[in-house]
Structure 1
Amino acid sequence: MSKQPPADPEIPGATGSPCAYRDTASPRLLYAVRHGQSTINAGLRPATPTEADDMVVELTDLGVRQSVALGRWAAALPAGQLPEIVLCSPYRRAARTWQLAEAELRAAGVALPCRMTDPRLYDRFRGTLAHIPVSEVRERYPEQYAAEQADPLGYRPPGGESFLDVADRVRGVLDRIAADTRHHRVLIVAHDAVILLLRRLLEHLDDTATLAVADRGLAGNASVTAWAREADDYRLLYYDHREHLPRT
C-alpha cells in the first residue's frame, strides 16, 4: 500500500544544495512544474507493494525526455527570470525530474539554483484507494465514489486526505516563500494536485472556480505554470505551458 511521507512544518527539508544568494526581497516570480510522466501516469499498475509506494514511483522513458526538455526550457530563460531556488517534492519522480533538468542547466553553463526538498509538497494521498482508477472505484466502492462526487474538494478517502488537506500544507509552503528574503524567483517541482491548490491559494479561487480549473484539465507532466508577484498578490502568467515538451 502507498505510504504517506511525514510532513514537518518546522523543518521544510533536510536535503538540498548550497545557496549563494543573499537577502534581497520577497520573490517576484513563482514557477510550478509537474514531474515528468511516471509509470502510474502511463497506466502501469503497481505489481508489488514496493511499486505501489508513491514515494518511489519512477519516471518512464518519456518522463525522462520531458525532464530533459524542461531543463532546456529553463536554461533558455533570460537571466532575470531564472529560478534562484527550487523547492521539490520528496517523491522520487519529482526529484528525478529536477535532477535531469538541472543537468541541462549545468551543461549550458547556467548558474544553478539552490535546491531544497520540502516534505509538504508530496502528492495528494488517496489512502486505500491509491492507484485505483476512478472507473474501478465506482464499481468496487460505490459509496466512496458517491461521497467524492458529492464533495470533490472536501472528500477524504479512507486513510487518505482531501484536496483541502493538500491546500493546508501547500499554504505552509507559501508562508515559507513569503518569509524568504533571499530569493526573488522560486520554482516548485511537485504534482498536479499541488499545482491546482497553488492556483486556488494564490488566485483566491473559491470552490466553484477551483473545480472549473480541474474540469478544464490539470497540469500536464513537465508542464510549467507561472505567477508574478505584484504588490501583495500574485497574478497568473500562464498555466500548463507545454510548448517545450516532446510529443513522444
Structure 2
Amino acid sequence: MVGLPARGKSYMASKLTGYLSFFHGAVVRIFNLGEYRRRLYGPHAPDSFFSPDNPEGVAKRAECARMAMKDMIDFLFQESGVEGLQMKNVHSGRIGIFDATNSTRERRRWIRDQLVGLPVKLIFIESCCDDKLTVKNNIWTSKVNNQDYKNVEEQAAYSDFRKRIAQYEKMYASLDESEYAWIKLINSGQRVVINNIHGFLPGRIVQFLSNIHATHKPLYLSRHGQSEYNLSGKIGGDSGLTAAGAKYAEALGRFAADHIQVGPDGKPRRTRLWTSSMRRTIDTVARVPHPKLADGWMQMSHRVYRQLDELYAGICDGMTYEEIEETYPEEFQHRKEDKLAYRYPRGESYLDIVSRLEPLVHEMESYRQPLLIVGHQAVLRLVYAYFAGVSREEAPRLSIPLNTVIELTPNAAGDKYFEKRTVLEPGTVSLSDGQQDPALAGKHDPPSH
C-alpha cells in the first residue's frame, strides 16, 4: 500500500483481503507497520517520531519495516496444504499486503529489492485524496480512537494526527515509477490510473478497488416467502408462494416502506431492490411500493438477476432429502462430507454460486444507496458471509431463516458490520425451515438447500 495517513489504505487492505479470500480462494494476510511499531515501541509516538529529520525515528521505523517484510516473506512461502486446496480448484496462492505509507521512492525501491529473485508479483496500490472533508472524516472515524490514542482526549488525538500527516507530507512522493506495476486510486475511485498491470487476478483487483468507496450504507437480506416446495419438503423448483408466503410478502412491503425507504432521520432516502429470476422471489416483492422521490428517483426499482437464482440441484431438483438419500445414497453422503464443494450431478455447488455472485458483489460495493435483496437460502448465505466477514467454508452452515429481514450496517470505519434481524409475521411458518439440513445436523426438516 502507498499513500499519506488517513487516505483509506487500511480500509482498502481490509476489503481486498475479504474479497480475494472469499471469491478467489487466496490465503491473504495484512502486515500493518503500525502494529509492529506499537509492539516494539509502545502505543503512542509523538509526531516527531515520524519526522524525516529525526534519525532515531527513521531507524526505528526502518526496523519495523524489516520485521514486517521478513514476516511477510516467511508467510508467502510457508507450507499451506496446497495439494488439498488444488484438488478443489479453489486455491489462488498466498497474498501478503504490506500496509504502510511507503510514501518515498527510496522505501518503494527497498521493498522491490527485498523481493527481487523471489517468485512473487509485486503491485503497489496508492490511495490519493485531496478532499479535505474526506480526510477529516477519516481521521475522526478511524484514527482518534485507535490504539495510538488510547486514553487520549479526542480533540488532542485529532490535532496530533494532523501533525503526523504534516511530517509525512515533507517526504511524500506519489507513485510515478514506470518500471513498477501499480494502481493509483484518486478520491475513492473517481479516477483510476494503472501502470504495468497484466493478468487475470491483477485485473480483478483493479476492478474491485475501483468500486469500493467510503460511503457506508445498510444491506438488507430476505429469503422469499414460504413456497409450495418449502411446505412439501422439496428442493429447487420454481413453485409459487403458499398463503403464509403471501402474508410475508405483504409484511415485507410494509417493512420496506416504513424502515428501508425512510432513513434514521425520518426522511425518504434513495433505495434499491434486487431479486432472483424465480417466481417465489418476484412474488415476494410484489407488495413493495415504488414511489417517485422529488428528485425523480424511483424507489426500489425492481432489478432481476439470474445470478441470484437458487443453487440448482440437477438430477435431484424437485426431490426431498429422503428421496435423495434413498435414490442416490452415494451422492447424499458426498454432499454431507463437503457441502461447500459438492456439486449435484448436472447441477451446481456452493462454489459455483460464488463464481456467479462475484460480478454482483462488485456492483453492490459500488452502490451508495441501501439495497434490499430478496433471494434464496444458499445464495443469501454466501452474500451474508462475504459482507459479515465469515469464511466461505462456514457459509453453508449459516442460519438464514424464513420470514426474517437481516440488516447489515457498516460501522463508521466501514470494516465491520452490525447485524439486526427482524422477524415478520411470526408464528405463520417454521423459522427453522431449511436449517436442519441432514448434511449439517442429520435431520430431515423441510429444506431449501
TM-score after normalising by structure 2: 0.42
Higher gyration radius (CA): 2
| Deviation of the 1:156 alpha carbon | 0.0
The one of 36, 58, 78 aligned to 2:225? 36
Gap regions ≥5 residues in structure 1: 1-23, 46-51
- Which residue does 2:322 correspond to in 1? 135
Distance 2:317 2:270 in 1: 33
Amino acid at match of 1:80: G
Aligned-residue identity in percent: 26
- Which residue does 2:376 correspond to in 1? 191
- Which residue does 2:26 correspond to in 1? none
- Residue 189 of structure 1 aligns to a residue in which SS? strand
Question: 1:115-158 CA deviation, whole Å, 9 max, x = no partner?
Answer: 21122110111111112111221111111011111111110011
Say whether 1:96 aligns with 2:283: yes
The one of 415, 425, 438 aligned to 1:245? 425
Q: Is the 8 A contact 1:63 1:221 kept in 2?
A: no
The one of 249, 259, 273 aligned to 1:77? 259
Map residues 110-189 of structure 1 onto 2, 5 A cutoff.
112-180=299-367, 183-189=368-374
- Which residue does 2:394 correspond to in 1? 209
| Deviation of the 1:80 alpha carbon | 1.0
What is the RMSD of the two structures over their aligned residues, measured on CA atoms?
Answer: 2.6
- Which residue does 1:66 correspond to in 2? 248
CA gap of 1:85–1:211, structure 2 versus 1, over 3 A, is closer
- Which residue does 1:14 correspond to in 2? none
- Residue 259 of structure 2 aligns to a residue in which SS? coil
Out of 230-239 and 117-126, give the one that drifted further: 230-239
Out of 200-209 and 87-96, give the one that drifted further: 200-209
Q: Is the 8 A contact 1:26 1:178 kept in 2?
A: no
Gap regions ≥5 residues in structure 2: 1-212, 292-297, 429-449
Distance 2:221 2:334 in 1: 30
Amino acid at match of 2:341: G
Distance 2:426 2:270 in 1: 22
| Deviation of the 1:25 alpha carbon | 7.1
Q: How many residues align?
A: 204
Distance 1:74 1:196 in 2: 21
Which structure features the higher share of helix residues?
2
Distance 2:220 2:306 in 1: 18
Distance 1:172 1:219 in 2: 22
Out of 164-173 and 73-82, give the one that drifted further: 73-82
Distance 1:88 1:156 in 2: 24
- Which residue does 1:20 correspond to in 2? none
Distance 1:84 1:131 in 2: 35
Distance 2:333 2:319 in 1: 15
Say whether 1:219 aligns with 2:400: yes
